[in-house]
Chain A
Amino acid sequence: MTAAPVPKIRIRGLTKAFGPKRVLDGIDLDVPTGTSFVIIGGSGSGKSVLLRCILGLIEPDSGVIEIDGENVLTANAARREVLIERIGMLFQNGALFDSLPVWENVSFGLLAKRGRGNRITRAEARTRAATFLSQVGLDPSVGDLSPSELSGGMQKRVGLARAIASRPEILFFDEPTTGLDPIMGAVIDGLIVDCVKKLGSTAIAITHDMASARRIGDEAAMLYRGKLIWQGRAADLMDSGNPMVDQFTHGRREGPISMELRR
């Protein structure tokens, strides 16, 4: 045994089926501290389910999920909450709280940690929210709007601001740039890279955008039929040598992956 450093996230043999449908079928994954990991895969291949399993939002059928070497699935409820608190998540659909104004969405995590050594007034939280909003390219005046008054891309950026606001050790991004224009997409990618490099966070990002994948990711993997069929450097995504990954990243109709359009 070599004394390899404990990965931030370590997954072994993770399986999850919904009824007869095996969505995750033995996932093994190591994400070292401070790296950002990109997961690609077809629509409905189980990428979001994988992140939800790690977050404890879906109970997997079997397997091991460790955060900092501690098994999340066997931890008791209280301990689990502590582990999960290290993770910030940008949901695929934003999942903004529509009963709260945008600024309160952004600073929700900060305010939630109030009274646990983190003294912050609502006025301060509001100022902080404005800073985060400008980081994701939104005017601070957006803070007073309700989430339903925002465009889809704006909602995504608010979701991103909310995820990074409490500076979590681990960040999950579920399609951070889908629905954004290319320039804003590049800005958001830059922001994600900043978070990982400057704050030393560990990130897992799901994306369908290959340019974005190479910009964000240090490492990458492809999920297909419940398994990670390829894992390597994100820079190699476009010429991985794996025929399935090649077909996917180049968007070819013909290849080993036959889209099951009619089942």
Chain B
Amino acid sequence: MSSGPWRARAADNVAPVAPLRVPPGVNAVLDPVAALGRAVLERVRKSGMLALFALEAVSHLVRPPFYWRVFLSALIEIGFFSLPVVALTALFSGGVIALQSYAGFSQYHVQSAIADVVALSVTRELGPVLAGLMVAGRVGAAMSAEIGTMRVTDQIDALRTLSTHPMKYLVTPRLLAGVLALPFLVVVADILGVMGGFIVATSKLGFTPDAYISATFAGLAASDVLVGLAKAAVFGFLIALLGCYHGYTSRGGAEGVGAATTAAVVAASILLLAFDYLLTDLFFAS
């Protein structure tokens, strides 16, 4: 089927299943079980469709044409216009970590570890996760709203009639833009997060600038930063994927697009944190 397996393949295409004949009282017991079963099956089906969707979108990377204009505008939208949000988030979080760890560490007279803690928590976790969550809210929502609107106003169908594969045109460039833009944002978040810690430590906690900076570099390994960037690339992929997927499969007018947008942000945020755990386990646990 040319339109792919996940395509808004209406629930209404499927013949309704006749309800099971059971005595009245039994229904009250069975209904919640059935609902649970249905919800689980639905989850499994959706995950499968999402995986197929991702596979096809990625496969278009190596099948020309590649739509540079769409890619560049997505890159600018994610990488450039998210800068202020990500920068501010990182700056404040770095400052908070410095304050919080001072409160704890001063009891044991290990305040010197503050620079270390700020640098590690920012590069390993806070940078990628906070940037990811911010971009999920901003860009994931925008992507699913834009593509969802295109779906419900027949623009995606129109692409097909104009010799353009909608996945190749709409999804693949955005996925690539997400993968490339998020690491860049995380570099910025890392720098500003450390700077937030630096500002708090030097202005409120009695650190000298020199001491703070040298402590930062002493405690930080290249692998901390690199793993953070790898996480960011994965998060960028997830955010763009879920934004595109929910938009692409949305149905039912403006209301459907709204629901798709919410679903995209929620799903991207949860998946992002789940993958964060998995990647942390993979890279740092040993």
Contacts and interface: CB of A to CB of B under 8 A. Distances in A.
B153 A95 contact: yes
Contacts of B160: 55-57, 84
A109 interface: yes
Interface in A52-101: 52, 55-57, 59, 77, 80-81, 84-85, 87-89, 91-93, 95-99
B158 A95 contact: yes
Interface in A106-122: 108-109, 112-115
Interface stretch (B8-16, B112-120, B226-234, B236-244): B8-16
Given A87-B161, A97-B158, A59 B1 contact: yes
B163 interface: yes
A19 interface: yes
A47 interface: no
B153 A56 contact: no
Given A87-B161, A88-B161, A112-B162, A19 B154 contact: no
Interface residues on A, range: 20 to 34
A162 interface: yes
Contact of A108 (B1, B2, B162): B162
Nearest to B65: A115
B223 interface: no
B146 A99 contact: yes
B144 to A, nearest CB: 14
Contacts of A55: 157, 160-161
A56 B149 CA distance: 21
A93 B146 contact: no
A231 interface: no
B153 A113 contact: no
B158 A56 contact: no
A166 interface: yes
Given A77-B1, A80-B2, A162 B155 contact: no
Contacts of A166: 162-163
B42 to A, nearest CB: 18
Given A18-B13, A77-B1, A80-B2, A89 B161 contact: yes
A57 B3 contact: yes
B2 A109 contact: no
A109 B154 contact: no
Of B65, B146, B150, B163, which is in contact with the most chain A CB atoms at under 10 Å from its CB?
Answer: B163
Given A84-B160, A108-B164, A109-B162, A18 B154 contact: no
A91 B146 contact: no
Contact of B163 (A91, A109, A163): A109
Given A18-B12, A80-B2, A85 B163 contact: yes
Interface in B63-80: 64-65
Contacts of B154: 91-93, 95
A85 B160 CA distance: 8
Contacts of B2: 56, 77, 80-81, 84
A52 B146 contact: no
13 contacts: A18-B10, A18-B12, A20-B16, A52-B157, A55-B157, A84-B2, A87-B161, A95-B158, A96-B158, A97-B159, A99-B146, A112-B164, A166-B163
Given A84-B160, A92-B154, A95-B154, 8 more contacts: A52-B157, A59-B13, A81-B165, A89-B158, A97-B159, A98-B149, A98-B153, A166-B163
Q: Which 6 A-B pairs have the closest CB atoms?
A: A95-B154, A19-B12, A95-B158, A109-B162, A77-B2, A89-B161
